[in-house]
A and B are shown apart, each in its own frame.
Chain A
Amino acid sequence: MSDHAHLADHGHDDHIHPEPTNFLAKYVFSMDHKIIGIQFLFSGLIMYAVGGALAMSVRWQLAWPWKPVPILSGLWADYGYRMPPEYYNKLFTMHATVMIFFVIIPLLTGAFGNFLIPLMIGARDMAFPKLNMYSYWAMWPAIVLMSLSFFTPGGSAEAGWTSYPTLSTFRWSTPGSLDGQTLWLMALLFAGVSSLMGSINYITTIIMLRAPGMKMFRMPMTVWAMFITALLQAFALPVLTAALIMQLLDRTIGTNFFAPANWMVANAGNVVGGGQTLLFQHLFWFYSHPAVYIMILPGMGMVSDILSTFSRKPLFGYKPMVFSISAIAGLGFIVWGHHMFQSGMNPALGATFMLSTMMIALPSAIKTFNWLGTMWGGRIQFTTAMLNAIGFVAMFVIGGLSGIFMAATPVDMHIHDTYFIVGHIHYVLFGGSVFAIFAGISYWFPKIFGRMMNDRLGKIHFALSFIFFNGTFFLMHIIGMHGHPRRIADPTVYEFLRGSGVVGMNQFMTINAMLLGLTQLFFIYNFFHSLFFGPKAPANPWHANTLEWACPSPPPYYNFLKIPTVYRMAYEYSADEVAPLDYWPQDQPGKSDTAEVHSGAH
């Protein structure tokens, strides 16, 4: 593969701009990718706490329907301290919205993408630092609008994170479809703009600013994953944006994109109509299926690097790994219909979507086998980061396998919109993405903040999170196959859900969820204590190969005093040439690319 990276002149040594000196320019409206990454990290973690609190209120209601919720119940003194049913719908709607759009996407792409991409490719900053700053600050209108929506008449949106019309388009259909839904749409538009600006920046940076010698096929998996993720975002987000604007127009100026003819809600007058309700679902999932991969690919990349570092072994099957994330991204655009098998979409179309969906499980399987191959025969060091990465692999397997049940259209007929789906979602998004985020934070904390985290506290946090996570979510598959619908405020309305087995399971899951929430206190304490009092971190505490470890911890403004030259790929661990050292950083001269000789040649 030909390589022009070294031609990009942004990397040249004489190009260092002076560091801004005033506080605002340095820490608030910063254009430094590292500060922006840290900003995304903090706002993501704060929103994670918000989303977690919402989740626990949801769980409370499911375990003990209509019993006063601790703390919150004061809000509902007029209703005998019971949660009104529409409030339950608001809680799960906002929980999912916050977690997806304000926690996982901003943490993975915003925080890690920003911090790591320039460092890992040997660049001084992003290609468009100002765009990068805008991308962070576009998040704030989103957060403010979303928070405001709780205080409008009717309260926040309550049509689910999927926000299907006509529930979401007709103002009187439910209290949250008053102004709350409008604010929700506007907030998501801002969040989308933020992601779009980020992704354009990442793509350009990775293509243009790689250090000399950093060929595409020498890039670490983290960078590959961020690159593919950015492509997914750039191509899928415009479609979501269009869908959100169409819904906004339906709600405000009376267009009828999603309203059929002669239809009405709550006995209000007929609507002229002429639109198609299902159209929104197609547009929404055309973005949101790729979006679920946006939420996992960066995690896969980070986990690949962490597994290799702490197995002290080259990543197994680097090229198959790259090809499989590319395949996931490609196939990701032709599987959206699997969310609509029971929607009234033509069932013949469902059959084709089933085939493509089954095929998308394949690259995930290949990746899993390669991760196991990476650990196999290694010299595994059990750091907090490594444990979280292994947790990711173990849990992602469950999420991938449960996907196969739902890909099978007839089986999906039974489990669609039940707790089985909720189980699947959480195994991929908590078991996958969130464990990857914890792995990433533990791994790069020394680089980001220049101090070490406490390993013992980290391990306690991991072990308890892992146990309570399984306790909270695994049994959802079982009540789901029993038929427990998702998104219902009171399961005991149904006779088949009134048995002590179902009620008991719901309570068991809720108790585990509360404990899972409490466990996060270990993380919060560890994070902040280490931030101020942790031991100073050396430049390369894990003896890793990638370029970010070549600069001091934390890296200085403009990262590299001298742009490094890259001699080989990132995974030369335990190579004989450098023994007794068991790592061989990418920027250390020496014989180059044993990898090209080895890979695939066995």
Chain B
Amino acid sequence: MKTDRLWALLFAFSAIFATGSFIYSRNNADWWLLPNVSSMGREIDHLFIIILVITGVVFIATQIVLCYAIWTFADAPGRKAHYVHGQMKLEVIWTIIPASILVFLALYQMGTWSKIKFRSSLPKVQPVAEVTGRQFQWMFRYAGDDRRLHTDDDILTINDFHFVMGEPTIIHLKSQDVLHSFFLPQFRIKQDAVPGLTIPVWFDSDTAGKFELVCAELCGWGHYKMRGNVTVHANQVDFEAWLKKTKTEQDRDQLALVNAVNGG
């Protein structure tokens, strides 16, 4: 049928919708990558964009070929199909070019990956906190005045994570019960918390302010609400002031608890 070639429009439409939605979403803060605040996030965004451009070009090229073929080679009176079984030269070309691109892409990731996740590249600083996931909250343990964890003066918070801007920061990530995943979307950081393992995670922030901590690994019926607040302090002084205030509150609450128990 003569109108058959119009099917090309349907396929073109979907390709335009796909390409267009990526281009359009750049202008909407609700859609594009969240504004990034960490140094590794910058690298990750850069890698993301590179892959987006390369895959975008491949995508558009293949869709154009497809639509052109549908339009041009649709059955029509007098058309004869071209009898051919293949072409060695083409096969070699379209094996070698994508292979080189893919190998390049893989090697190009290695630097960033090793910098973020390899133990050997952990910054040489004390961990700011021990973070334990449990159904369905994040528990944070900060060192008290003795600067050591698991002592009497530790400071404990729930769903409330604080650290200092501009400094490499390490947490020790644990899980008490099931898998969870420590996900900071504005920092592009994700690491599963695994029962039985203690996993060091490092990151930093170039912006002070409030952010969100997401649990990204299914952990049971309340998984969706396992959300934490993240506060990045502008400097060490602010951070220690917060730590001191929290410690005072914690001691007061504990005293009240002791009194209540004794009184009852």
Chain A residues in the interface with B (C-beta under 8 A): 84-86, 88-89, 158-160, 164, 166-167, 170, 173-175, 259-261, 263-266, 273, 276-278, 311-320, 342-344, 347-348, 350-351, 354-355, 358-359, 361-362, 365-366, 368-370, 372-373, 375-382, 387, 390-391, 393-394, 397-398, 401-402, 404-405, 407-411, 413-414, 416-418, 463, 466-467, 470, 474-475, 477-479, 481-483, 485, 487-491, 493-496, 499-502, 505, 571, 573-576, 582, 595, 598-602
Which residues from B are CB-within-8-Å of A317?
85-87, 90-91
> For the complex, what is the distance from the CA of A566 to the CA of B194, rounded to whole Å?
57
* Chain B CB within 10 Å, residue with most, of A259, A377, A491, A575: A377
**Contact of A344 (CB < 8 Å), options: B98, B105, B199, B224:** B199
Query: How long is the Cα–Cα vector from A501 to B24 in the complex, in angstroms?
Result: 12
| B149 sits at the interface (CB 8 A) | no
- The residues of A that contact B28 with a CB separation of less than 8 Å are 501
In the complex, A602 Cα to B217 Cα: how many Å?
Answer: 53
Chain B residues closer than 8 Å to A276, beta-carbon distance? 196
Q: Is B242 part of the contact surface with A, judged by Cβ < 8 Å?
A: no
Checking B22, B31, B217 against A501 with a beta-carbon cut-off of 8 angstroms, the contacting residue is B31
Query: Please, which residue of chain B has its CB at the minimum distance from the CB of A576?
Result: B83
User: Which chain A residues lie closer than 8 Å to B206 at the CB level?
Assistant: none
The list of the 10 closest CB pairs from A to B, nearest first, reads A260-B196, A501-B30, A483-B185, A377-B82, A86-B221, A174-B220, A347-B117, A499-B30, A488-B224, A317-B86
Contacts of B110 in A (CB 8 A): 351, 354
Contact among A84, A316, A407, A479 with B85 in the assembled complex (CB-CB below 8 Å): A316
Q: Are B21 and A167 in contact (CB under 8 A)?
A: no
Most buried by B among A167, A501, A576: A167
If the complex has contacts A167-B219, A350-B117, A369-B94, are A575 and B190 also in contact, measured as CB distance less than 8 A?
no
Q: With A85-B221, A362-B102, A397-B63 in contact, do A496 and B34 touch (Cβ < 8 Å)? A: yes
A-B contact pairs, 17 of them (CB 8 A): A89-B218, A166-B178, A315-B85, A362-B98, A382-B7, A387-B7, A394-B66, A467-B14, A470-B17, A482-B30, A482-B34, A493-B224, A494-B214, A494-B227, A502-B31, A574-B81, A602-B86
Number of interface residues of B (CB under 8 A): 104
Q: For A408, list chain B residues within 8 Å (CB).
A: 47, 51, 105-106, 109
Residues 58-87 of B, flagged 1 when their CB comes within 8 A of A and 0 if not, give 110011011001100111100111111111
Q: What is the CA–CA distance of A344 and B195 in the complex, to the nearest angstrom?
A: 11
Contact B135 A265 (CB under 8 A): yes
- Tell me whether A495 and B113 are in contact (CB under 8 A): no
Q: Which of B107-166 contact A (CB under 8 A)?
A: 109-110, 112-114, 116-119, 135
Nearest CB in chain B to that of A317: its residue: B86
Q: Which of A273, A376, A595 has the most CB of B within 10 A?
A: A376
In the bound complex, CA of A259 to CA of B15 (Å): 47
Q: Is the CB of B44 within 8 A of A410?
A: yes
CB-based contact B178/A265 at 8 Å? yes
Also in contact, A413 and B188, with CB within 8 A (given A166-B177, A277-B195, A574-B80) = yes
| A174–B178 CA distance with the chains assembled, in angstroms | 10
From B81, B113, B118, B191, A311 is in contact (CB under 8 Å) with B81
The residues of A that contact B217 with a CB separation of less than 8 Å are: 164, 417
Q: Is B245 an interface residue (CB 8 A)?
A: no
Q: Is the CB of B178 within 8 A of A379?
A: no
From A167, A314, A405, give the contact of B48 (CB < 8 A).
A405
B75 contacts which chain A residues (CB < 8 A)?
Answer: 312, 379-382
User: What's the Cα separation between A318 and B84 when bound, in Å?
Assistant: 11
B86 with A373: CB separation less than 8 A: yes
Select from chain B the residue with minimum beta-carbon distance to A488. Answer: B224
Contacts of A355 in B (CB 8 A): 103, 106
**Docked-complex contact B221 and A175, CB < 8 angstroms:** yes
Task: For the complex formed, measure the closest distance between the CB of A412 and the CB atoms of chain B, giving whole angstroms.
Answer: 8
- B250 interface residue (CB < 8 Å to A): no
- Please determine whether B225 and A493 come into contact, CB atoms closer than 8 angstroms: yes
A266 in complex: contacting residue of B59, B81, B135, B223, CB < 8 Å: B135
The closest CB in chain A to the CB of B35 belongs to: A496
- Tell whether, in the assembled complex, residue A574 and residue B83 are in contact, meaning their CB atoms are under 8 Å apart: yes
Closest to A86 in B: B221
Minimal Cβ-Cβ distance residue in B for A393: B66
Q: State which of A85, A401, A490 has its C-beta within 8 Å of the C-beta of B55.
A: A401
| Max count, chain B CB within 10 A of own CB: residue among A401, A410, A478 | A410
- Give the distance to chain B from A177, nearest Cβ to Cβ, in Å: 8
Task: Flag whether B239 is at the interface (Cβ < 8 A).
Answer: no
Contacting pair A414 B62 (CB below 8 A): no
Task: Give the Cβ gap from B197 to chain A, nearest Cβ, in Å.
Answer: 5
Q: Provide the residues of chain B in CB contact with A409, threshold 8 Å.
A: 109, 113, 117
Complex contact A311–B73 (CB within 8 A)? yes
Inter-chain CA distance A489–B91, complex, in Å, is 47
Complex contact A314–B219 (CB within 8 A): no
| Partner of A380 from B73, B88, B178 at Cβ < 8 Å | B73
Known: A390-B66, A478-B21, A482-B31. A312 touches B189 (CB 8 A): no
CB-defined contacts of A368 to chain B, threshold 8 Å = 62
Name the residue of chain A whose CB is nearest to the CB of B188: A414
Task: A276 to B86: give the CA distance in the assembly, Å.
Answer: 50
Say if the beta carbon of B4 comes within 8 Å of chain A.
Answer: yes
> Which of the residues A376, A474, A485 comes within 8 Å of B17, measured between beta carbons?
A474
The answer to whether B84 and A377 have CB atoms under 8 Å apart is yes
Write out the residue numbers on chain A whose beta carbons fall within 8 Å of the beta carbon of B218: 89, 159-160, 164, 167, 487
> How far is B135's CA from A411's CA once the two chains are assembled, in angstroms?
28
